[in-house]
Amino acid sequence: MTGVLMKWVIAYDISDDGLRTRVAERLGTIGWRVQESVFECTFDPEGLPEVIEVLRRMLGGSEGANIRIYRMCRDCLEVAVGIGSVRSTPDEGACVIA
């Protein structure tokens, strides 16, 4: 699957203000903020282990901090719904293989 771009949703719940800011800044380098604690990112599956490792190192043993990463398949993207002031991302039509 090398070279195939996939859409990923990365959400976090981090109580420490400083750590939360650092995680948000890091995620801002690889994706687009769509809610305060949610980013949409596009990269190939081979990039996932690196993203996980960077975020794992950032969290360290922090209590009260967690990050979830979800892959969005084509069918999921087609039925995704946004309500209210939805922020669109430059990769709205990201190519994914279901």
Is the residue at 34 inside a domain? yes
Q: Whole-structure pTM over 0.75, yes or no?
A: yes
Is the residue at 90 inside a domain? no
Low-confidence ranges of the chain (pLDDT < 70): 1-3, 90-98
Query: φ, ψ for residue 96 (rounded to 5)?
Result: -130, 155
Q: 12: domain range? A: 6-79
Is the residue at 98 inside a domain? no
Is the residue at 89 inside a domain? no
Is the residue at 91 inside a domain? no
CATH code where residue 35 lies: 3.30.70.240
Domain count, the chain: 1
pLDDT recorded at residue 81: 84
pLDDT tens for 59-81 read 998 888 999 999 988 788 888 88
Which whole-number Å values give the CA distances from 8 to 62, 68, 71, 83, in the listed order?
A: 24, 10, 4, 19
Contact between residue 39 and residue 68 where contact means Cβ atoms under 8 Å apart:
no
Is the residue at 87 inside a domain? no
pLDDT recorded at residue 97: 40
pLDDT recorded at residue 73: 82
